[in-house]
Structure 1
């Protein structure tokens, strides 16, 4: 009997953990809401070394600052070289935790959490960044409005890439629409209640572009490897745009919740 393949870990669990824990600290949700959200990503969460999901939550909750980064080879997003950054490059996501008391400012060597695993079991190695950074300043230099405009341009560019591929398509238009919808859903991030609809729009646009890039990379949208290779530089640029947009949106949400926490 053939065993079923292991289900993949949903995308961006570190972003979900950061957003929901920040909402908990700000009084916008309950601890059970955070745990329920994490259960959507994996049945079991382990803090490494030695701990379960409650230990994971305790590690993040009450931090002076939180910041999400989504680095890739050639685009470290301000992270220093070292083991934590290497792990983040492989996973595509890292949560930085300034574990000093609330109100602390200036550079520090933050804790680093990188999700590794499957939908059955997600392990969170607990590392220290190898150099000091100012976690509260690792944010996008562009405003969310500018980022949203950049994503609109990226959507147009992604459509142009598809149009330029040509070749046979891997299925009917309905099949492609279903495949695109499934990949968009997989790239969405569960967010707690918040007051910035622009964050939702930025994340939705990023998920749409990522889904298109995923279909291109899988060969679903063209049968010529040479065509994909010629478009590689543009695809890399679009991927970088979506990663930076997504991390900027999540960090804007974290900043909103931090403001609420300070105001309480």
Structure 2
């Protein structure tokens, strides 16, 4: 049995009003379906981790609706911001019961660190000096195995248009992480696609979106036809881990695949 089971959901892009659609789909409905499928197939979980872009043109009501959907599962939930999010609104509205925007969580013999890679006024990622200090100080104070979560990717994905938006100082993140052998993995969102690679001893993951996916290795915005997805982590004793991605068994007939942006 795993020591901990973590569900990562990312890039919900929930719209300001219930029933709104983007690129032909209801992103909130897909978020609910993804949560339900993950729990029906793998649940219950010890933690639900939302790694950014929870809202598209975020509003207080969109975050409240996200909070209600999460509270259904009576599971600790950590929410961190992406480039589309309003961090201040998140801190207010995603702060009820088991749902929070906490930056550090100790669960059994693991620690989860949530980093903010927002760069004001830009879709790209950047880790402020305060974020890097938080990371270094927290890892110095806790030597239990660590999973780091951040919205933007810190290594190239091979999708050249997306790689213009990766963490601009990702090498600073990796330089700190590689100093601490307890850092076992870094997981992100933003890419709307699955990725798994390594940097030295650290496993690096990206997770498919709970709405729509981008085509891998694309040079410009291009939608894939894969359905909504999610990632499951099994965090084992002594720092070992296993991870896999899963997709909803649905077609994407309504997705406007010829769109050039969103």
State TM-score, norm by structure 1. 0.28
State TM-score, norm by structure 2. 0.29
Q: Which has the higher contact order (CA 8 A, sep 6+)?
A: 1
Q: Which structure shows the bigger proportion of residues in strand conformation? A: 2
Larger radius of gyration: 1
Q: Which structure shows the bigger proportion of residues in helix conformation? A: 1
